[in-house]
Every structure is written in C-alpha cells, then in structure tokens.
Amino acid sequence: MQDIFSYRPYWAKRFGVSPTLPTSKEEMDALGWDSCDVILVTGDAYVDHPSFGMALIGRLLEAQGFRVGIIAQPKWQDASDFKRLGKPNLFFGVTGGNMDSMVNRYTSDKKIRSNDAYTPDGKPDSRPDRCVLVYSQRCREAYPDAPVILGGIEASLRRIAHYDYWSDKVRRSVLVDSKADLLVFGNGERQVVEIAHRLAKKADLSGIRGTAMVLKEVPADWKVIDSIHLDKPGEVNAHPDPYSEKPACTKTDPIESFSGRRSANTAVRLPDYEEVKSDPVLYAHASRILHQETNPGNARALIQRHGDRELWLNPPPLPLSTEEMDKVYGLPYSRLPHPSYGQSKIPAFEMIQHSVTIMRGCFGGCTFCSITEHEGRIIQSRSEDSIIREIEAIRDTSPAFTGVISDLGGPTANMYRLACKSREIEEKCRRLSCVYPGICKNLDTNHGPLIALYRRARALPGIKKVLVASGLRYDLAVTSPEYVKELATYHVGGYLKIAPEHTEEGPLSKMMKPGIGTYDRFKALFDKYSKEAKKEQYLIPYFIAAHPGTTDEDMLNLALWLKKNGFRADQVQAFLPSPMAIATAMYHTGKNPLKRISRESEAVYVPRSTRQRRLHKAFLRYHDPENWPALREALMKMGRADLIGNGKHHLVPRFQPKGVGKQLEAQPFRTQHARRKRP
C-alpha cells in the first residue's frame, strides 16, 4: 500500500501554496498560473475547510504539486460557466457536494426544501437535481476531450443500478448515464491522487481500487463468478449468515473459498441492469451481494451489465493510515469561506467551523444510513497530537472563536480508535455490523484513548468548553461507564442527542439497531453521572417514522412510550430511501437483504403510501393538535378507542381546538359512541 504522500510531486509544485484555491481567471493570474491541472466542480459553496470535500481533495492535490481550481455552484443552464477557468490539463473532478443533491433539495415527502445549508445565506435552487449528471454533461459540452471523473457521496451511492425514490424507479449507474470516464466511490483520497499522477504520465486508469469504469467486455484473464452461486434467488444455497451466532469469518464458510485474497483476478457478476429493474427479488439479491463485498480485505471486483456494456467496480479503497489522516487534516486550509462570498453566511460552515473531525467510518451498519456505504466499516482515526494541533489552530486563527469547540467527533462520537482485535479476522469478515445483534467478541471497545483525548483537549489554554455533538453509539458507551461519566461531567451542553430510532423489535431488526433496553441502561448511567456532577442535563432521543418493517401498531407503541417518558418531539423524520442503502432495497422490493433472498423468503411490511407515512409521523407528534383528528381516526380503526380521552392515560384528547387539524380522509369524525352504534 503506497502512502498517498510518497508520490513524486508534479512539476507545478514550484508555484507553492495558494491562499485559497482559485475560482476565477483573475485569481489564477494573481498566482501566475496559465492553466489549471485539475478543476473541481461542486454543488456546494467553496469553503476552504476539511469538512468540505472540494477543499480537502483540492488541498490534497495541491500538496501533490497540481494546480487546482474550483468551480462552485455553477450556473448549469449552459456550458459557459464551466469554461471560466479554461480547460483542465488533466481532468474535471465532478461532485454534487457534501450531500446527495436529491436529499439536499427534497424532503422525505418529496417537497422542495426551503433552504440549502451549503449555499450562501441558505438560498435554495443553487444546484440542479442530480448534480453529478448535469455537471458532467456541461463539462463535456465545454471541453469534449477533457476527462471527467465523478466523485463524492452522490456518485458513490449511485455507482451501480439503484432504486431512485424521487422517480420511483431503478436507474442506471450514474457513471453510465453521465458518460464520464471514471467514478470514484468511498473516501476518495487514494483514488484521486493515483488518478492525477497516472493522467500526468498519460497512463491508463484501470485497476484503481475504489473506482468504477465502463468496459466493452470483461478482461479475458479474470475468473467471473455469477452471484447466484453465492446466494441463489429461488433455491437458497448454503451461505454464511453474517448475523448468526457463528462468526461469519471462519474457515468453514463456503464463501471463503472465493476470497479476493486467495484469487486476485476473481470478479462477481451481479444481475444485469434490466433484470434488477424489472425483478424486485433480483434487486434485493444484488443489494445483498454488494454489501457483502465491501470489506477492503476480501472484497472482489463486481460486474453489472448495462445494455451492451459492462459496469466494472473495483474493490473498495484501502483505509488511510493514521499518519496519512494526520497529513490530510494538516494541510494549509484557511478554514473560511471563499472571500468572494463577502458577508454572506453559509449555514453548514457556521455549524462546523469550530468542530474537529477525529475519525472516519462506522461499523454500526444501520440499514438506513449511507455512512458505511460511503466511508466503510473500518475506523480511520487521527492521532491525538494532530487533533490537538487543529484545536490550537482554531483557537489562534478563527475570528469568530469564543473558546468553545462545538464538536469532537465524526460519523460517530465514540468509535475513535476502535477496531477488530485481530487484523486477520478483520480482513476475512463479511459481517455488516460489529455491534448487531450484539457487540462482536472480536471488537475492542476500549474508550480509553478517547477519554485521554477529551481530557487533553479541554485542558488547553484558551479552551473553555469541548462539546460532543456527533451521534453517540450508546450501545458501545455502556461498555465503558468511565466514558459516560466523562461525557456527562464535561462534554454535554445541557442536552445530548442520541438515536434509538424506535422502541419495537420489528422495525429495530430491519434497522439493525439495539433494543430500547440498551437505551434505558445508557440513560441510567447518564442520569447518574449528570446528578453527581450537579448538572441538569437531558437526553434527546431521535426516532424514525415509516421505516420498512414498521406497522401502525409499532408506531402506536412508540407514541405511548414517548408519552410515558414525557417526550414531545418538535422535529420528526420519516424514512427517506437514499440510494444503495439496505433499507432502501427493503422499501423497493419488500424483501429483507439481511437474510438469504429467495422467491419465498421473508417479506418486509413497507408503509409506502403518503397517507400512512404521514400517520406514522403524526404518532411521533401525538401532542400536536394538528394531528389529533388523524390519530383519533386511526385509533378507532385499530380498535384502540380507549386511548381517546382527557385523562393522563389517554394518548389524544376527545376535544379539538376550533379550526385546528385535518382528517387523513375527507370524512366526518365520529365519536367513540357513534362508532359503536354503527352496524
């Protein structure tokens, strides 16, 4: 594995470091550049901060010696804005930004959002739907012979044929539709550095881990395994169940004989695009195989035919080492928005400008989440010294710093330096989660390094408070009461957000989340240590409505739990089927890819209609008078009219404020008495 900082620098390194990467010809002229080697096109405003993808990749390429320009939120109606920096010498790098553009622009109810956190002053409509497609097409129009490389989370999650919630159909790989030259998936540092140096040498781009390309045919020297031999739809073959009590990485597992580490030139053929488009069972099967081929230690190349072409996905990228992570986050970011934005506020920057990323990846495996599909399950951690240096830089250079670090975290707050106890086991394992249905015995859950980091960070001169705002994995936290004590005593600002997501086993099993009893154990520890610290602090639990596997009865039980525990949620979320997630495959197919797929395998109940999704959200906000008519109607249909009344044990009252609330259906509300009189 080559260190990403060990390449021989490109000749343009002589130009040195730019105060900010140029966004106009005038800025290029000021730097003495006649052209850019790489031009990054992004759907986000340009913020020179490592939490923004275009800045991180741009500064990394600059460190390799390349001249990098930024085209941020271009006008996409024609190609003129894509010519503002001229033709790149090596390639256009196209990304939708830090979020999938469809998730960014639309709510789970498919309504256009009123603001965009990654745009100056939060203004909406600064990016098109499906940014990656539109931007790549405009780059082609601007300079037809310039290579176009796709990357970022939008491209990463759409790298194969995928269900698209907004059009309610299975779409082709974004690489095929965009006609780009290459797609980078996952964290892109290794791939982008290798791509730039290869193109500088006019070498081909084949075989780069973490990339996808379109081929006319499969190379002759590759052995191809049809995916149905690994997990055959219809007639189920013997196959390791990653959620059984037996570890999925033992030498007796049938799949191990096909390990990528044993046969480097082995690829797995997924069902063709036309097949997964028309057959939900094959779609669920393809999703299951894809997710079992995500461990960089044993993943094989994947092939999926699109028409008369072959979509080829190389195995995932190898994780960055701690030393590489330190150098990436130690690059000379200004940590500010580009000066051209003037006094405009970029909401996403305002939120994260004083936060510090300490790690990447997540081995939780939540089926509705895109973190593991993009960043992987292997935790990549920075060194303590690197993190401390960044905190000191914020303290010493940020004009808005008040002494409070808003977050020390990442995809999760408390997976810092956690890893499998055995490198050999880790490289063979095909489990999708290290913590579901319980914490794997091979997982090191030592929170000691994180506790030491917290203590050192808050002891720095000029630091008044270090908060932890990233999502906390509380099933891990309860293994370390010392960590919970440290957190509650020093690092909570009155409220701590955590995400049990549900209380009922049905939906929790489809989410791969722990039971509510684990939340209760964490709450007991949190309350105990908050009381000992003489602090009034509260947990704010987050829940998801309308997730696959959730019935009306599940939501009713969750509402009763919320009322019993005194929670009144202000904001609630309904399940949004993001591309490539396992839960999205459940939503689209009604099958459960967590288990072996067959025509007769487990069917997943899916609350799909707009009416039912709204009802499930209404249960989460049982206290809102706007929802009372809908809840009364639902409770009577469910035979639970006993929960309608004005007592403490009732869920919703019998009375209705005048002019507030609407029925789910256009029919008059009947009282419990009237309903009983109906024949």
Instruction: Name 502's Cβ contacts closer than 8 Å, sequence gap at least 6.
Output: 508, 511, 513, 516, 543, 544, 547, 550, 554, 558
Tell me whether residue 672 is in a domain. Answer: no
Q: Please compute the mean of the pLDDT values over residues 206-224 and round it to a whole number.
A: 95
**Phi/psi of residue 52, each to 5°?**
-105, 125
Whether 158 and 219 share a structural domain: no
Q: How confident is the model at residue 237 (pLDDT cuts 50, 70, 90)?
A: very low
Helix (H, G, I), strand (E, B) or coil at 388: helix
Tell me whether residue 302 is in a domain. Answer: yes
Q: How confident is the model at residue 144 (pLDDT cuts 50, 70, 90)?
A: very high
Predicted confidence (pLDDT) at residue 310 exceeds the cutoff of 60: yes
Could you give the count of Cα atoms lying within 13 Å of 457 in the half-sphere of its Cβ?
Answer: 33
**Residue of higher predicted confidence among 500 and 249:** 500
Q: Please compute the mean of the pLDDT values over residues 566-586 and round it to a whole number.
A: 92
Q: Please compute the mean of the pLDDT values over residues 470-497 and round it to a whole number.
A: 96
Whether 203 and 216 share a structural domain: no
Q: Can you give the pLDDT at residue 409?
A: 95
Whether 251 and 291 share a structural domain: yes
Tell me whether residue 361 is in a domain. Answer: no
Tell me whether residue 78 is in a domain. Answer: yes
b/e 418-437 (16+ beta carbons within 10 angstroms → b): bbbeeeeebbbbbbbbbbbe
The chain-wide mean pLDDT, for the chain, equals 92
Instruction: Name 520's Cβ contacts closer than 8 Å, sequence gap at least 6.
Output: none
Whether 71 and 204 share a structural domain: yes
Tell me whether residue 523 is in a domain. Answer: no
Q: Which of 259-273, 287-301, 554-568, 641-655 has the lowest mean pLDDT?
A: 259-273
b/e 165-199 (16+ beta carbons within 10 angstroms → b): bbeeebbbbbbbbbebbbbbbbbbbbbbbbbbbeb
Whether 187 and 273 share a structural domain: no
Strands 538-545 and 573-574: parallel
Q: How confident is the model at residue 398 (pLDDT cuts 50, 70, 90)?
A: very high
Q: How confident is the model at residue 265 (pLDDT cuts 50, 70, 90)?
A: confident
Whether 34 and 178 share a structural domain: yes
Q: How confident is the model at residue 262 (pLDDT cuts 50, 70, 90)?
A: very low
Alpha helices in 172-224 (DSSP H): 174-178, 189-200
Percentage of residues of the chain with pLDDT beyond 90: 88
657 neighbors 625 (Cβ within 8 angstroms): yes
Chain segment 373-388, per-residue pLDDT in tens: 899 999 999 999 999 9
Tell me whether residue 143 is in a domain. Answer: yes
CATH code for the domain of 99: 3.40.50.280
Predicted confidence (pLDDT) at residue 4 exceeds the cutoff of 90: yes
Chain segment 243-257, per-residue pLDDT in tens: 344 433 333 332 222
Q: Can you give the pLDDT at residue 673?
A: 34
Q: Which of 316, 349, 375 is the last residue of a domain?
A: 316
Q: Can you give the pLDDT at residue 264?
A: 66
Predicted confidence (pLDDT) at residue 503 exceeds the cutoff of 80: yes
Whether 205 and 218 share a structural domain: no
Whether 164 and 115 share a structural domain: yes
Q: How confident is the model at residue 233 (pLDDT cuts 50, 70, 90)?
A: low
Q: Which of 283, 316, 349 is the last residue of a domain?
A: 316
Chain segment 158-196, per-residue pLDDT in tens: 999 999 999 999 999 999 999 999 999 999 999 999 999
Whether 11 and 156 share a structural domain: yes
Whether 171 and 91 share a structural domain: yes
**Residue of higher predicted confidence among 48 and 259:** 48
Strands 309-313 and 211-215: antiparallel
Q: How confident is the model at residue 658 (pLDDT cuts 50, 70, 90)?
A: confident
Name the token pair of 580. 């490539």
Domain count within the chain:
2
Q: Can you give the pLDDT at residue 663?
A: 52
Q: Please compute the mean of the pLDDT values over residues 489-511 and round it to a whole number.
A: 95
578 neighbors 645 (Cβ within 8 angstroms): no
Whether 99 and 245 share a structural domain: no
Q: Please compute the mean of the pLDDT values over residues 300-320 and round it to a whole number.
A: 97
CA distance 447 to 453: 10
Q: Domain of residue 50: give its range.
A: 1-210
Q: Which of 176, 210, 244 is the last residue of a domain?
A: 210
Q: Can you give the pLDDT at residue 228?
A: 85
CA angle 314, 319, 323 (to 5 degrees): 145
Q: Which of 93-97, 424-428, 551-555 has the lowest mean pLDDT?
A: 424-428
**Residue of higher predicted confidence among 240 and 575:** 575
Q: Please compute the mean of the pLDDT values over residues 101-118 and round it to a whole number.
A: 94
Predicted confidence (pLDDT) at residue 110 exceeds the cutoff of 50: yes
Q: Can you give the pLDDT at residue 331?
A: 98
Whether 262 and 144 share a structural domain: no
Tell me whether residue 533 is in a domain. Answer: no
Chain segment 407-453, per-residue pLDDT in tens: 999 999 999 999 999 999 999 999 999 999 999 999 999 999 999 99
